[in-house]
Amino acid sequence: MPSRPSGSFLDQHTSRMFTDRQPRAFLDPTVLARLAAVPLVARRPMVGTVSGRHASPHRGSSVEFAEYRKYVPGDDLRRLDWRAFGRSDRHYVKEYEADTNLRLCLVLDTSGSMNFGSGAVTKIDCARRIAGALGYLASQQGDAVGISCVADGIVRTLPPRRSPAHLRLVFDVLDEARPAGPTRLPEVLHELAETTRQRAVVVIISDLFCPPADLAGAFSHLRFRRHDVAVFHLLDPQELAFTFTRPTRFLDMEGGAAIFADPVDIADRYHRAVEKYLDDLRRIVLESAVDYHRMLTDEPYEQVLARFLVGRAVARGLR
C-alpha cells in the first residue's frame, strides 16, 4: 500500500474509507481526492427521497427559479409574488426547482471473461477500481449506492442505500467478486430494468462479450424505465491487437469449447470481426443514448473516470 499524503481533506476521506481498518486494494485515495473535485451528476432528473444536488422532476424550494404559476386557492400565500401582483394586478405563485439525491446502481460483470489480462491488470481489477471509485464519490455527495454482480444471472445484489455502512458492504461485494461462468448480460439487464423501480444511474462495467443486437434491446429497456445508463466497456489490449504468432489452442474462459487456430491464418479475419463488433456497438450506444466509455486495461482509470464525470457535469451544467 503506497503511503498516503497527509492533509485534512484526504485524512477525512481515508478515515471514512477505512473505518474498519480493512484495506481496499481497488481504492487509491490520491485518485479519489482528485476525482472528488468534480461531482457525479445524473444526466436525467432523479426521483430521490431527500434533498440533494440532482435535478428532480418535481418543484421544490431550491434557489433555482423554475416558472410562474397562477394562484389557486389552497396555495401557500408566502409563495405569492406581490411584485408581480403590483405590476399586473393578477396573483401569481413563484415556483422553484426541487433538488434531490440519486440512486447509483453499479452493474459489475463477473463472468469468466472478466478474469482475462495479458498484463498485470485483469479486467475485473479495472472494474473493481471503477466501481469502487464511483460508489465512493456518490456516497460522498449523499447519493444512494447499490451493486449487482452479474454473470449468467444476478450473482449477488445490494439495493441502493445512502449510509456509509452500506458503502462498506458494497466494497465487500467488490472484494469478494470472483469472475466465473458464462455471460448473459442482456437478459440480466432486462431483469434489472424491471426490478429497479425508481429512476437511477445504472453504470454497467463489463467487457460486453455478447451480441450487440441483444445489448441494444437491454439498453432501450433501461432507457424506457427512465434510467440514466452509463457503460464502461473494458477490453484488454491483446484482445484488440491479437499479436499471437504461433499456432494456438484457445481455451474459453467462460467454459465454452476450445478453438485451435493459426494466428497467421486467422488474424486478418479476427481483426475484421473485432472491427465489425465495435462498429455495431458504436451505432447501438449512439441510438440508445448510452453514456459509453471504452477502456483498455493498460489505460489509467483515473482519466476515464475524469472524462466520465466532466462530461456529465458539462452536460448538466454546474450549479
Partner 1 sequence: MTFLQPWVLAALPLVALPLIIHLINQRRFQTVQWAAMMFLISARALSRGYSRLRHWLIMALRMLAVAAVILAVGRPLSRGWLALAGGGRPDSAVVILDRSPSMQALDAAGGGSKLDTGRRQTVESLTTLRPGRCLLVAAATRGPEEVADPAAIVELPSAGPSAASADIPAMLQSAYDFLRENAAGTSEIWIVSDQRASDWRPEDGAWGNLRDAFAKLPQQVRFQLLAYPAAAAGNVAVRVGSARLEQRGRDRSLVVTVSVTRADDPSRVTLPLKFEIGGVTTSVDLELTGREAVLKNHVIPLGSAAPPRGFGRVSIPADADPADNEFFFVYDEPAPRRALVVADDSSARRVLELVAGIAPEKDVPATVDTVTAGGLATAAWDEAAVLLWQAPLPTGRDAELVEAFVARGGQVVFFPPESPGDAAFAGVSWGSWTTHPKPVAPESWRTDQDLLANTLSGGALPLGELEIRRSCGLKGEHVALASLPGGAAFIARAAGAGGVCFCTTTPSARDSSLASEGIVLYALVQRAVDRGRAVLGAARQLDAGPGAAELAASAASWSRLAGPEAAPSTEAGLHAGVFAAGERLFAVNRPATEDVSAIVADDRIDALFRGLSFSRTTGRAGDGESIVQEIWRAFLIAMLLAIIGEGLLSMPRRREAEQASRGFPSVEAAA
- Candidate ranges 7-15, 60-68, 156-164, 268-276; the one touching partner 1 (CB under 8 A): 268-276
Question: Residue 93 has which C-alpha cell?
Answer: 405563485
Residue closer to partner 1, measured from CB, 48 or 186: 186
Residue 236 touching partner 1 (CB under 8 A): yes
Residue 303 touching partner 1 (CB under 8 A): no
* Residue tagged 440508445 (cell numbers): 288
As to burial, measured by CB atoms within 10 angstroms (0-12 exposed, 13-18 middle, 19+ buried), residue 186 is buried
DSSP element (H, E) containing 235: strand 228-235
Rounded to whole angstroms, the Cα distance separating 88 from 314 reads 38
Using CB under 8 A, which of 172, 214, 254, 302 touches partner 1?
A: 254
Using CB under 8 A, which of 275, 300, 314, 319 touches partner 1?
A: 275
Residue closer to partner 1, measured from CB, 64 or 287: 287
Residue 278 touching partner 1 (CB under 8 A): yes
Q: What are phi and psi of 156, to 5 degrees?
A: -155, 145
Residue 293 touching partner 1 (CB under 8 A): yes
Question: Residue 129 has which C-alpha cell?
Answer: 477500481
Residue 272 touching partner 1 (CB under 8 A): yes
- Single-letter amino acid, residue 114: M
Residue 251 touching partner 1 (CB under 8 A): yes
Residue closer to partner 1, measured from CB, 18 or 270: 270
Residue 285 touching partner 1 (CB under 8 A): yes
Residue 9 touching partner 1 (CB under 8 A): no
- Single-letter amino acid, residue 224: F
Residue 292 touching partner 1 (CB under 8 A): yes
First to last CA, the chain: 36
Taking each helix axis from N to C end, the angle separating 263-288 and 212-224, rounded to the nearest 10 degrees, works out to 20
Find all residues with CB under 8 Å of 220, minimum gap 6, and list them: 288
Rounded to whole angstroms, the Cα distance separating 243 from 257 reads 22
The count of residues interacting with partner 1 (CB under 8 A) is: 57
Which residues within the stretch 174-213 sit at the binding site for partner 1 (CB under 8 A)?
Answer: 207, 209-211
Which residues within the stretch 78-117 sit at the binding site for partner 1 (CB under 8 A)?
Answer: 112-116
User: Which neighbouring-strand residues pair with 145?
Assistant: 104, 161
Coil/strand/helix, residue 82: helix
Using CB under 8 A, which of 247, 300, 314, 315 touches partner 1?
A: 247
Contact status, residue 203 vs residue 230, Cβ threshold 8 Å: yes
Using CB under 8 A, which of 5, 195, 262, 314 touches partner 1?
A: 262
Residue closer to partner 1, measured from CB, 276 or 319: 276
Binding interface with partner 1 (CB under 8 A): 112-116, 123, 207, 209-211, 236, 239-244, 246-254, 256, 259-262, 264-278, 281-282, 285-286, 290-294, 296, 307
